[in-house]
Amino acid sequence: MIKHFTSITDAPNPNALIQRALEIKRAVRRPPSAVHRKTLVLLFFNPSLRTRLSTEKAAQNLGMNVITMNADAGWKIELEDGTVMDGDKAEHVREAAGVISQYADVIGIRSFPTLKDRDWDYAEVVLNQFKKYASVPIISLESATVHPLQSLADAVTIEEFKTKPRPKVVLTWAPHVRALPQAVPNSFVEWMKTRDVELVVTHPPGAELAQQFVENVRVEYDQQGAFEGADFIYAKNWSSYTDYGQIISPKENWMVTPEKMALTDNARFMHCLPVRRNVVVADAVLDDPRCLIFEQAKNREVAAQAVLEEIMKSGN
């Protein structure tokens, strides 16, 4: 039974979700009657390609109605309680969430972090205010600090492509021209901790993730050392948590190259996308048949379907 799906802590049995996603992938798609005709409203405060398409597709596979709204250009929503609304915010989240709940059986929310105010971002204000004031379950479509639908799909992908009972999974920081959220790495680590894998996180000094995510996780500053014997290389850029939101520019080049991949045990390459070619990872790695980016993207659909099905099963 799950009510909301906003982080791994909402899933009492992550493995059951992973196994169900794999079952869905193998099975003929037939909408269960409990879900048929229910309505999913997706609210995007930030752009989306995979999350939007895969979640809409998953809902359609289940026979649900989907309404998607780009919420970035509409009313500015007041998120704080008790404010005098005499500024530029036209509608309080209390009304916005309450109204959407009149039309939706489930609401999906995408809201990136500000990358300016760490306490505010890590308090997950947008997501939590929607959770508080909506009367229906909330699914995270990537919030300020985690991206559980991506990590569930990544866990499914690793389950499908592992060739050893306990593969070595390496999350490596990679360069980028913009300051990006920590949501994908935070979430990936959180999900991998529940799997039977040897997890190593490698990043330059200054790229430390929040303690609550990397507690008891092996962290190495030596990228090439970390790559040795790896079965999966998961690359992702993130901006600084300690010097919050700042771009990290290490002295060495952290881009993933064929030379670095050669240090692994013939590892599979993974990235959540979108990816900056020849900044994060070299063309030759992305275009190699061992790269799993499309398999990951494909698994976003079954991941979302397993979650929606489970939420609907809970009688919501």
Q: Check: CB of residue 180 under 8 Å from CB of residue 149.
A: no
Q: Least Å distance between CB 127 and ligand SN0?
A: 15
Q: DSSP character for 296?
A: H
**Closest approach of Cβ 271 to ligand SN0, in Å?**
9
| Residue 180, number of CB atoms within 10 A of its CB | 18
Q: How many residues bind ligand SN0 (CB under 6 A)?
A: 9
Please identify, among the stretches 11-19, 97-105, 268-276, 298-306, the one whose residues bind ligand SN0 according to the rule CB under 6 A: 268-276
Biggest CA pair distance of the chain = 60
Among 14, 148, 175, 181, binds ligand SN0 (CB under 6 A): 181
How far CA 39 is from CA of 56, 99, 136, 147, 207, in Å, comes to 11, 14, 11, 22, 40
Residue at shortest CB range from ligand SN0 = 180
183 is an interface residue for ligand SN0 by CB under 6 A: yes
Closest approach, Cβ 243 to ligand SN0, in A, equals 18
Least gap, CB of 46 to ligand SN0 (angstroms): 8
Decide: is 141 part of the binding site for ligand SN0 (CB under 6 A): no
Q: Which residues contact 73 (CB under 8 A, 6 or more apart)?
A: none
Nearest residue (CB) to ligand SN0, 26 versus 178: 178
How many other C-beta atoms are found inside a 10 Å radius of the C-beta of residue 171? 25
Please identify, among the stretches 68-76, 133-141, 181-189, 216-224, the one whose residues bind ligand SN0 according to the rule CB under 6 A.
181-189
Q: Does 109 bind ligand SN0 (CB under 6 A)?
A: no
Is the backbone peptide bond immediately before 274 cis, with ω within 30 degrees of 0? yes
- Out of 184, 214, 248, 312, the residue judged to bind ligand SN0 by CB under 6 A: 184
The DSSP result for 157-196, as a single string, is HHHHH--SSS-EEEEEE---SS---SHHHHHHHHHHTTSS
Closest distance of CB 90 from ligand SN0, Å: 27
Which tokens hold the place of 67? 């309404």
Q: Residue 157 and residue 272: Cα distance in Å, rounded? A: 11
Distances (CA, A) of 117 to 68, 186, 207, 306: 28, 17, 17, 34
Q: Which of 3, 57, 94, 276 binds ligand SN0 (CB under 6 A)?
A: 276
Shortest CB 300 distance to ligand SN0, Å = 10
Q: Which stretch binds ligand SN0 (CB under 6 A): 4-12, 129-137, 176-184, 227-235?
A: 176-184
Q: Which one of 104, 106, 180, 270 is in contact with ligand SN0 (CB under 6 A)?
A: 180
Given the complex with ligand SN0, which of 50 and 92 has the nearer CB atom?
A: 50
Order of strands, edge to edge, in the sheet holding 198-202? 218-220, 198-202, 168-173, 232-236, 268-270
Among 18, 155, 272, 308, binds ligand SN0 (CB under 6 A): 272
Positions touching ligand SN0 (CB under 6 A) are 142, 178, 180-181, 183-184, 272, 274, 276
